[in-house]
Amino acid sequence: MKTNDVILQTGTKVVFFIIFLFSIHIFFAGHFAPGGGFVGGLLTTAAIVLLLLAFDLKTVQKALPFNFMIVVAIGLLLALGTAAGSIIFNVPFFTHAFGDFYLPLFGESALHTAMIFDAGVYLVVVGSTITMIQTIGGDS
């Protein structure tokens, strides 16, 4: 039986980006407001799950042509690199640095190495959850 789910698919196309943007927002807001890498990652996953529900596995793989296990690896590398980077500056493992910088486009911005670490968390969460869902879903 072939079902017509054009409403679902059209709705998804719009809602996906809203959820995705919200997840990015939550990720960046993490340091001062509720949110952070973990929730951000999970929200992105939820957005992709929605895509998976509306379309099929192959279409989503074509739209997002990443090997999510590599995403996991990059995430872990970022997190570990941030933590280990402090050793170079002769401070203990996992010492973060922060400060205000003037950036060309954003103007006066507060930057914090914790954000890079959080990005690692974000990538690992997205990568592993999607890997799980894709493998389980792709198993017949």
Partner 1 sequence: MEFVLLIFLPLVAALFVPLLYKRIKNIHTGWFVFVIPVILFIYYLRFIEMTMNGNVTTSTLSWIPSLDISFIAVIDGLSLLFSLLITGIGSLVVLYSIFYLDKKQEKLNNFYVYLLMFMTAMLGIVQSDHVISLYLFWELTSISSFLLIGYWFTRDRSRFGALKSMMITVFGGLMMLGGFVLLSIMGDSYSIRELIGNADSIIGHDYFTLALVLILLGAFTKSAQFPFYIWLPDAMEAPTPVSAYLHSATMVKAGLYLVARFTPLFAFSEVWVWLVTGIGLLTLFWGSFFAVKQTDLKAILAFSTVSQLGLIMSLLGASAVAYHVDGPDAIIFKVAAFAAIFHLINHAMFKGSLFMTAGIVDHETGTRDIRKLGGLMSIMPVSFTVAFIGSMSMAGLPPFSGFLSKELFLTSMLALRDFELFNFATWGILFPIIAWIASVFTFVYSFYFVFKTFAGKRKRQPLPKQPKEAPVGMLLSPVILATLVVGIFFIPNIVGKMFVKPAVVAMQFGLYNHPNEVAVHVSAWHGLTPELLMTLGIIAVGALLFLTMKRWQKLYEIQPQYLSLNALYDSLMIFGESGMNRLSRFYMTGLIRTYLIYMFAFIAAITTIMLFVQDAFVVDMDSFSALNAYGVMTAIILVLAVCMVLFAKTRLAAIIALGGVGYSVALFFVIYKAPDLALTQLVIETVSVALFLLAFKFLPTLKRHGESTAFRFGNFVIAAAVGVTMTLVALSAHSQKLIPSISEYYKETVFTEAAGGNIVNVILVDYRGFDTLFEIAVLAIAGIGVYGMIRLRLARKENSDENK
Only one of the segments 7-15, 56-64, 92-100, 101-109 lies at the binding site for partner 1 (rule: CB under 8 A); that segment is: 92-100
95-124: which residues touch partner 1 (CB under 8 A)?
96, 98, 110, 112, 114, 117-118, 120-121, 124
Cβ(134)–Cβ(57) below 8 Å? yes
Only one of the segments 10-18, 25-33, 57-65, 101-109 lies at the binding site for partner 1 (rule: CB under 8 A); that segment is: 25-33
By CB under 8 A, name the one of 12, 39, 54, 60 that touches partner 1.
Answer: 39
Does 33 interact with partner 1 (rule: CB under 8 A)? yes
Q: Say whether 129 sits in a helix, a strand or coil.
A: helix
By CB under 8 A, name the one of 51, 60, 75, 85 that touches partner 1.
Answer: 75
Does 137 interact with partner 1 (rule: CB under 8 A)? yes
Distance, CA of 88 to CA of 40 (rounded, Å): 30
By CB under 8 A, name the one of 12, 30, 55, 60 that touches partner 1.
Answer: 30
**Closer to partner 1 by Cβ: residue 54 or 127:** 127
Cβ(72)–Cβ(127) below 8 Å? yes
Distance, CA of 19 to CA of 4 (rounded, Å): 24
Q: Give φ, ψ of 101 to 5 degrees.
A: -130, 155
Cβ(126)–Cβ(67) below 8 Å? no
